[in-house]
Amino acid sequence: IMGKTALTIDVEENEIIFSKDMDRRMYPASTTKLVTAILLAKNKKREDTLTYSEHAKASHPYNLDLEVGAEIHAEYAMDALLLFSANDISCMIAENIDITIEQFSYHMNHYAKELGLKNSHFVNPSGLHSTKHFSSAYDLSVIARDLYNYPWIMETLGKKESIIHINNTIENNTIKIKNRNKMVMQKGCIGGKTGWTPE
């Protein structure tokens, strides 16, 4: 295992099979979006409409780069969040649930506290780098286990691709995206979330 930290768990037995420095605080990058997805599933229905803001448009790539004021259903926001790992869509989700990123981050940390996570703290919904934004292999495994309680998320994580339908746009009203997680449907992988930053 070349990674600095790692963990393998039997979900049904709640048994650790392999671990390597599993409580070490690390930068979770876009695996953060699993928490954002859970809060989306908790607060919105698939058919609910989300509106795209100027703040979302100003997000760092990867982005869908929609028109300000464009609307998409939460179902497509979930696809863009977990398959394409769109940072602008994570911002849009946060703003449509809590108005500000700060308020949404508060709810991310409240969720982490509910799960009993001791080595996680979140300051944004996308995983863009901040020294105040961290998690651990163990904490991420607890979050990943909680995903099984959300069929909508599990279904999304297993998709190879999706077509995003956009409302209120002048030009293209659909965007085709592919899952950036190349492991899906390979060697038994039923889904997951990848993440990377230079840090």
Q: Which residues are catalytic?
A: 30, 33, 85
**Helix 137-146, helix 33-43: angle, nearest 10:** 30
- Tokens (6 digits) for 190: 């039923």
As a whole number of angstroms, the distance between CA 174 and CA 199 comes to 34
Number of other residues whose CB lies within 10 A of the CB of residue 171: 6
As a whole number of angstroms, the distance between CA 93 and CA 32 comes to 13
**Cα→Cα distances 65→39, 122, 175, 177, 189, Å:** 22, 24, 11, 13, 30
- Counting beta carbons within 10 angstroms of the beta carbon of residue 147, is it exposed (0 to 12), middle (13 to 18) or buried (19 or more)? buried
As a whole number of angstroms, the distance between CA 34 and CA 115 comes to 14
As a whole number of angstroms, the distance between CA 101 and CA 9 comes to 32
